[in-house]
Amino acid sequence: MNELHDSTSPNTPPEILAELSIDKNESVRFAVAKNPSTPLEIIIQLSTDENEWVRSKVAEHPRTPPGWLIKLSADKDRNVRESVTRNPNTPPEILAKLSADEDERIRNSVAINPNTPPEILATLSTSESWDVRCHVATNPNTPMGWLIKLLIDRNEDVRHAAKKTIAKLRDKKAAAVNHSPFSLCKTQRTHYNSSAKRRVSKGK
């Protein structure tokens, strides 16, 4: 049996993945934790693995339950905590907790996460770290009021990121308006109204 190949294959049977999840080779366990077909019970088992990179993959796995993500958010290893911020299933309250993590890299990851609540992004936008503020400025979910404030940030990169994000949001809004059935130009509205009147006249 090729352990490394089997641990990465989405077609590997659950019973084989269970065996591989306790393999002495950490690379094999890492691959099992990354495998999208790994059963929930094995994911939970690997969440307490002695290797931090294995736990990191569990923290990113889409099957990891919120309850276990909460536990992993308190992991002593920063790579594990950062992986929690990248999981789309991480509860907002955990992102809020990690937004105050002592490690700047983790705060950056929270700042750029599309699921981070607006109020947390607003708080991070006043961070002493220009890098954290810059990540907030690139997040399209940052409240417009705070993006506007970041336009006059003391750091040039932050100002540039905020300007770029605001421009994208305005372009997106304009595109949505242009495709709305209520956004007909004057000529189209006139034609529409004339056609409607003719139909009413014929009906009489």
List pLDDT tens digits, range 75-114.
Answer: 999 999 999 999 999 999 999 999 999 999 999 999 999 9
- Residues 154, 180 contacting (CB under 8 angstroms): no
Q: Is the pLDDT of residue 20 over 60?
A: yes
* Cα–Cα distance list, 197 to 184, 200, 202 (Å): 17, 5, 9
Residue 34 CB-density burial (10 A; 0-12 exposed, 13-18 middle, 19+ buried):
middle
* pLDDT band (50, 70, 90) for residue 193: low
Domain membership flag for residue 194? yes
- Residues 128, 100 contacting (CB under 8 angstroms): no
Domain membership flag for residue 104? no
* pLDDT band (50, 70, 90) for residue 7: confident
The predicted pLDDT at position 175 comes to 80
140 and 76 within one domain: no
32-41, 44-53, 166-175: least confident range: 166-175
Between 103 and 8, whose confidence is greater?
A: 103
Mean pLDDT of 178-196: 53
What pTM value is reported for the model?
0.78
Tally of structural domains, the chain: 2
Domain membership flag for residue 146? yes
Tokens matching residue 31: 């691959």
Domain membership flag for residue 100? no
58 and 124 within one domain: no
Q: Is the pLDDT of residue 118 over 80?
A: yes
Domain membership flag for residue 105? no
82 and 151 within one domain: no
Q: What percent of the chain has pLDDT over 70?
A: 83
- Residues 116, 141 contacting (CB under 8 angstroms): yes
Domain membership flag for residue 29? yes
State phi, psi for 121 to the nearest 5 degrees. Answer: -65, -40
Distance CA 148, CA 143 (A): 9
Boundaries of domain holding 74: 1-90
Q: Is the pLDDT of residue 190 over 70?
A: no
What's 24's domain CATH number? 1.25.10.10
Between 120 and 10, whose confidence is greater?
A: 120
The predicted pLDDT at position 174 comes to 84
- Residues 25, 1 contacting (CB under 8 angstroms): no
Distance CA 125, CA 139 (A): 11
The predicted pLDDT at position 172 comes to 87
Mean pLDDT of 137-166: 97
Q: What integer best gives the mean pLDDT of the chain? A: 88
What tens digit of pLDDT does each residue of 149-158 get? Answer: 999 999 999 9
Domain membership flag for residue 102? no
* pLDDT band (50, 70, 90) for residue 167: very high
* pLDDT band (50, 70, 90) for residue 187: very low
Output helix, strand, coil percentages for the chain, rounded to the nearest 5.
65, 0, 35
